[in-house]
Structure 1
Amino acid sequence: MPSMRSMMCSLLPLIGFVSMAAAAAPTPVSLPAREMPAVEAKRLKAQAQRVTILRDNWGIPHVYGKTDADAVFGLMYAQAEDDFRRVERNYINAMGRLAEVEGEAELYRDLRMKLFIDPADLQAQYKQSPAWLKKLMVAFADGLNYYLATHPEVTPALITRFEPWMALSFSEGSIGGDIETIDLKQLEALYASGARFPLAPPVLLSSASMEQGSDLDKEPGGSNGFAIAPALTKNGRALLLINPHTSFYFRPEVQVQSRQGLNAYGAVTWGQFFVYQGFNDRVGWMHTSGGGDVIDEYLETIIEKDGRFFYQYGAEQRALKAVDITLPYKTSDGMASKVVKVYYSHHGPIVCAKDGRWISVRLMNEPLKALTQSFIRTKARNYRDFYKSMELRTNSSNNTVYADADGNIAYFHGNFIPRRDPKFDWKHPVDGSDPATEWRGLHTVKETISLFNPKNGWIQNTNNWPYTAAGPYSPKARDYPAYMSMNPENPRGIHAVRVLENKKDFTIASLIDAAYDTQLTAFEPLLPQLFVAYDELPADDALKAALAPQIAALRGWDLRYSLESTPTSLAIYWVQDLTATYGPVAKSTEVLVLDYIQAALTPRQRLEALERASAKLTADFGAWQTPWGEINRFQRLTGDIVQLFDDSKPSLPVAFASANWGSLAAYGMTSKQITKKIYGERGNSFVAAVEFGPRITARSVLAGGQSGDPASPHFADQAQMYARGELKDVLFYRSDVEKNLERRYRPGD
């Protein structure tokens, strides 16, 4: 790496500049470069001297700055060192500019973002920000720009200069934000040829076409969070399990500390300057996806008059707002662009059509408040401080499991919950012409579903409903409107209660054991039905003899996964066949797939699925009696954002399984499987167990490693631990980091 001294001799290398306000501009590669002004170069170098980065023997950056802004500067620089491509990609996607890199296929993904994200609006919000937050946003941009200035060998895909206001485009931290719930195929169907009304048949999406696939087509995202009160722990201190289930390599592990009270450790989403799931020396927070209904769809009654569109609202006919959105995209010859005219009612943008009606969507879009909440919670010193951050009510897509050094444990089921008339079915589009369907402000935090120090002494959430979060001391559904909790119970929730209830003397080690308990609860109701179906077969039925060994193996199975288990392989392939075959039907009837499989299938269908599963295992691996560890593997070959897998190349066996089947330690494949083996892409990504008290004690593990560079020793140095479910000691205190130090430096060194 070139030294900072040599870089500064020439006033830093040339840095290309692209204004995000000019969204239709051609790719920045063709824009004239400019030198960083000497005054800016001097300022950034001075700030770098106020930052120290200590890399421990796992490559994890421990960033120390004089002020919060200095620490943010160093944190962003360190993130860029570890994986600049992922940092940049998150902002390319957040600002709706992916087609400028990937081409025309991403146009409607960009349109979806630009329906809500407007650079001019974000710039205005930045100007209105409080001074302390402006300093952090400036430091965010400066840290990334300083990295680019001192690493001329790095070629950005698009963003050659970061601006402070860009932090507002990606302010909340979830793997899939609210905007990404809008269906891209439906959006394209509406706008590809220009939105028209009455709807032409090719544009209208039928109900059937909107219900493709099943609830189990994709490995679930989500997370697990456990909190244990001091009364149930061996050391008399609160414990917290932090277990996000995201796509792998979506968040690295960091520590960021300043002399202004910032000292956060945990998982940070690439490109953001706040620890998203983690802890400081006093409190810890774990976000799990789910909560209440925070996004609503409105059926708009459209009237066309003289080429203009109006929509009915009460006795009024209001004009739809029409906006031309320019979508630049990369071509084989350079750049092109498409202009799409989109429409808005006062509810929000029109995003799809169904049954001859246009549908608008309303969701939270408060980037300034969201960014504020995301940062200030990391500096909370106690429950009161943390609760105050929650009162901003902009954590729209997550629940929160909490624990602190005072011995408190708590749970918030969601945070941003619009107040509505409960007589409407908010799971489905409501009539936008009826003023009674309006949001009526937000519920206060006190009004939402929450827990504080429940008498049972533990809290769990697995993206399930809150009504088992604390055993018999859980919130009661009858006390809340239905829209406050949208998810049902799930197999992981049933599993979590079992590993927590009636236990005491918890330690970090036993909490980790609970988080990796091997039971697969989803099979408990399903296998007895299979056995009954088999037992009732006539003796002369061909399936009786053909499936006898498989049934015997499954009868003898304890429903626990292990590397050596062949029943685990057979059971998982069996239920995968069932969900692939019957999932679309279940979804079309709005029944959960596992519920449909349990309630609606014939005995013959269950047995034939087992026969197909046996045949697939035999075809792929030579015998249906294939140990699970030979099938379920961890492999990280490249630093690409989209991983490729190869059965002929080295991989590691992994015992834990998909969250769909009740595995608390989740592990599943999300892309279309073109290999014979299953390679994990989502599930346990960052795991940490924390004990609070006078001194923090914690253990953690990342999927793979800290760095996105295959040449780095920290690209996959945690892989074997990860595959075994083992966690390393967290080095929270600087004295411990110094004892396990790999490198000490300042940004630019």
Structure 2
Amino acid sequence: MRRFLKTGAIGLLALLVLVAIGLAIWEPLLAERAAPPPDHKYDSIIARDTFGVPHIFGKTDPDVAYGVAYAHAEDDFATLQEAVAMTRGRLGAMTGAAGAQTDYALALLGARATAHRDYMKQPADVRALLDAYASGLNKYAERHPGEVKLAKLFPANGEDIATGFVLRSPFFFGLDQTLGALVGETPLPVESAGATPDAPDPGALPAGTDVNEGNQNGSNAFVVAPKRSADGFTRVVSNSHQPWRGPVAWYELVVHSGTGWNFAGATFPGVPFPVLGHNETLGWTNTVNRPDLTDVYKLVLDGGGTHYRFDGKWLPLERTRVWLHVKIGPFVLPVPKTVLRSVHGPAIANKNGIFAIRYGGADQMRMIEEYYRLTRARNFAEWQKALAIQGVPATNFLYGDAAGNIAYFYNASFPNRKPGFDYAKVLPGDTSRDLTAGTVPFANVPRNVNPASGFLINANNTPYQAAGAGSEMRAGDYSPLLGIETDTTNRGTRALELMGADGAISRADLERIKYDTTVSRVGWAAKWFADIMAVDARGDRQIAAAKAVLAKWDWNYDGKGPADSIAALLLRAGNKWHYQRRPEADPREELGKAAAYLQDHFGRLDPPLGTVLRLRQGKVDLPLDGGPDVLRAAALWDEDPDGRLSVKHGDSFIMFMEWDKQGQVNSQSIQPFGAATTRPASPHYADQAPLFVAHKLKPVRFAPASLRGHVERVYRP
């Protein structure tokens, strides 16, 4: 009997070992190896300046795109290969549960199918760029096999790169918030200002846990025309607020092609060209806008749940089984999921029914051509022609050029909608009466071109607050069906206050405005702090002491006052509900939490802001000023074990561009860390940090001749 039990135990152990081995190796064994791009010999030259920023030269644009991929891989191959894994539905096998959620979104939105269907329909020059970029990644992976995390991930091809555009673009206007609410069975996000998050809504989801904080992307943009500048220059300030690490962190570069493609700016991992910045004659920046571009429909199912009613007919609900690959420790577990689709678009089932989604810019990949054409435009007319492609689903564009033109385009792929339906709420999914194909024409996209005020701003606020009194777009000129937001931010209010009060805006003025750390005395933040100061301490000594400290606050996050730290924590708490259009949080509760945090970690309620708010990268640990929703933005942070708040999102890539009276361009820029953000051994891991915290910029050596004497190395990849 003992021998039998011993034999059985050995057999069970052997079986468990086999299962463990299988779970560890099945994913790469079953993964399909992609076809490589067409064979082609690329000739790129990379010149690294003294800050490590790559200047990529090539005879052709594809030569340049090849070099862009290789240079970026040298600095951040870890993130780039995650971008490739994402397009293959293998991110979960690399990063775990969070990656598997992205893999589910890939399948749900049909991004891979869209790219596969439309790739060969793209213009030949666009496909050549994508193939070249993929080839640059492949070359790096071939030379550095020890850095590759997943077998059969390479070679990548142009279709992989295109898929990344299709998948990521809708998340910039908040589609992930809607998907997360439906999957998590929580209230849908409020899609327009003035709506009440908890308002009764026939067919809406019941109240529950709040959706993820998410969608805290921001940005500031400032544009000044010659008539408003003190010296007759045109100026554009790009001040995007993105995460400082990861798949949507900025990467600075300069490109030069023998065909005349010259551009300085920044790009994202997986993108073969800059997406904002300037060329010789024009430049632009982007800020997140938040129009209502997502329509949700509740389907009516038959008794078997296999068909849904639409215009009196029962149509089959498309069902596709997908397997998510989820890494847990050394194992990769297969998790089955069912992807649903109706005539409206992707659908999600939860305990309240099945909800289908239609969203702006869905099922297309024109955004790739659009961004590329924008970088090659030589004047305002050519630039507008590129923007009219309407491939970029949403984002504000603020523009300036050597001719003195300035403009603000509230760019979005607005879905065609019919009067008589409330598209901010869940719609009936059994009729075509509330469903219309197509996108609102580009001619109807809101814009403010060459305003009389001579300046334009945006800080994720309504487009009707951009140019000052007498120069604004009028809300009455645009259909409410566009879903344009009417809410604002402290940053938007403050920028307009500062720009509007300055009749002749100098370069120094613009720097002062950009780095402003003040909260406006009007707007949501002022009311929030008034509500906090009205809190009844009710005998709580710590809350009473916190109010006493806050009473000393000078409404400025410059790090000089005793109340800056507690005010920063409270503004962050306020921004969580304000930016997400939720009900106001309990001011007494938030004041108590802020006070407890400071007391627990610092032993006092008034530690200096620079002691609390930090820029940390490797061995670099520097004090920061600013805060959430001020123009010197520190939007999100991690709470480190020592209590310090390590900023991870806020002011990121900053670029000042200007064209003088003769039309000559000049620019300066800065990043929070450096060019090589995931390479601790690199001298450029955090070399820009001291300048960044000191509000200083470095030169952008755009003209090739300006590189002389400032080159670290030159090589062919």
Tell me, yes or no, whether TM beats 0.5: yes
Whether 1:110 and 2:110 are equivalent positions in the alignment is: no
Aligned equivalents of 2:119 and 2:32: distance in 1?
A: 27
Whether 1:677 and 2:677 are equivalent positions in the alignment is: no
Worse-superposed segment, 284-293 or 373-382: 284-293
Give 1:332 deviation, angstroms.
5.8
2:73–2:80 contact (8 Å) kept in structure 1: yes
Give 1:462 deviation, angstroms.
1.0
Matches within 5 A, 1:198-597: 207-209=206-208, 211-212=210-211, 217=213, 220-249=216-245, 250-304=249-303, 307=304, 309-330=306-327, 335-353=332-350, 355-472=352-469, 473-482=471-480, 483-486=482-485, 488-521=487-520, 523-531=525-533, 542=539, 550-575=546-571, 592-593=582-583, 596=584
1:54–1:742 contact (8 Å) kept in structure 2: yes
Cα separation, partners in 2 of 1:206 and 1:525, compared to 1, 3 Å: closer
Task: Provide the residue aligned with 1:643 in structure 2.
Answer: none
3-state DSSP class of the match of 1:257? strand
Aligned equivalents of 2:599 and 2:112: distance in 1?
A: 55
Whether 1:700 and 2:669 are equivalent positions in the alignment is: yes
2:365–2:391 contact (8 Å) kept in structure 1: no
3-state DSSP class of the match of 2:306? strand
Aligned equivalents of 1:97 and 1:371: distance in 2?
A: 23
Give 1:505 deviation, angstroms.
3.3
Counterpart AA for 1:616: Y
1:189–1:205 contact (8 Å) kept in structure 2: no
3-state DSSP class of the match of 1:524? helix
Aligned equivalents of 2:433 and 2:649: distance in 1?
A: 41
| Per-residue CA distance 1:454-505 (angstroms, 9 max, x = gap) | 1111111111111111122111112212234136111111111012113143
Counterpart AA for 1:474: E
Task: Provide the residue aligned with 1:716 in structure 2.
Answer: 686
3-state DSSP class of the match of 1:227? strand
| Per-residue CA distance 1:209-245 (angstroms, 9 max, x = gap) | 25356xxx45821211111111111231211010111
Counterpart of 1:618 (choices 599, 616, 620) is 599
Give 1:139 deviation, angstroms.
0.8
Percent of paired sites with the same residue:
26
Aligned equivalents of 1:463 and 1:686: distance in 2?
A: 17
Aligned equivalents of 1:744 and 1:272: distance in 2?
A: 23
2:318–2:342 contact (8 Å) kept in structure 1: yes
RMSD over aligned Cα atoms: 3.2
3-state DSSP class of the match of 2:302? strand
2:111–2:363 contact (8 Å) kept in structure 1: no
Whether 1:55 and 2:24 are equivalent positions in the alignment is: no
Matches within 5 A, 1:729-740: 729-740=699-710
Aligned equivalents of 2:716 and 2:320: distance in 1?
A: 47
3-state DSSP class of the match of 1:519? coil
| Per-residue CA distance 1:653-707 (angstroms, 9 max, x = gap) | 0011112xxx112113355765511110111110011102422111110110000
TM-score, L = length of structure 2: 0.85
Whether 1:689 and 2:656 are equivalent positions in the alignment is: yes
Give 1:617 deviation, angstroms.
1.5
3-state DSSP class of the match of 1:327? strand
3-state DSSP class of the match of 1:161? coil
1:633–1:679 contact (8 Å) kept in structure 2: yes
3-state DSSP class of the match of 1:467? coil
Counterpart AA for 2:691: M
Matches within 5 A, 1:146-165: 146-157=139-150, 159-165=153-159
3-state DSSP class of the match of 2:617? coil
Counterpart AA for 1:664: L
Counterpart AA for 2:451: P
5+ residue gaps, structure 1: 1-24, 191-203, 638-648
| Per-residue CA distance 1:129-148 (angstroms, 9 max, x = gap) | 22212211221111111222
Aligned equivalents of 2:573 and 2:599: distance in 1?
A: 14
1:518–1:656 contact (8 Å) kept in structure 2: yes
Task: Provide the residue aligned with 2:616 in structure 1.
Answer: 635
Cα separation, partners in 2 of 1:573 and 1:120, compared to 1, 3 Å: closer
Matches within 5 A, 1:184-195: 184=180, 186-187=182-183
Task: Provide the residue aligned with 1:168 in structure 2.
Answer: 162
Task: Provide the residue aligned with 2:91 in structure 1.
Answer: 98
3-state DSSP class of the match of 1:436? coil
Give 1:350 deviation, angstroms.
0.9
2:53–2:675 contact (8 Å) kept in structure 1: yes
| Per-residue CA distance 1:705-742 (angstroms, 9 max, x = gap) | 00020000000000111122211111111111122111
3-state DSSP class of the match of 1:135? helix
Worse-superposed segment, 70-79 or 546-555: 546-555
1:390–1:415 contact (8 Å) kept in structure 2: no
5+ residue gaps, structure 2: 1-24, 187-202
Cα separation, partners in 2 of 1:323 and 1:670, compared to 1, 3 Å: farther
Whether 1:654 and 2:652 are equivalent positions in the alignment is: no
Whether 1:136 and 2:141 are equivalent positions in the alignment is: no
3-state DSSP class of the match of 1:63? strand
3-state DSSP class of the match of 2:324? strand
Aligned equivalents of 1:52 and 1:394: distance in 2?
A: 31
Counterpart AA for 2:670: V
1:401–1:411 contact (8 Å) kept in structure 2: yes
3-state DSSP class of the match of 2:600? helix
Aligned equivalents of 2:592 and 2:117: distance in 1?
A: 62
Aligned equivalents of 2:443 and 2:34: distance in 1?
A: 52
Aligned equivalents of 2:349 and 2:459: distance in 1?
A: 31
| Per-residue CA distance 1:139-190 (angstroms, 9 max, x = gap) | 1111111222333443244522111211211227769446534434743779
Counterpart AA for 1:253: E
3-state DSSP class of the match of 1:691? strand
Give 1:34 deviation, angstroms.
12
How many matched pairs? 663
Aligned equivalents of 1:434 and 1:33: distance in 2?
A: 43
Aligned equivalents of 2:420 and 2:233: distance in 1?
A: 44
Counterpart AA for 1:383: F
Give 1:313 deviation, angstroms.
1.8
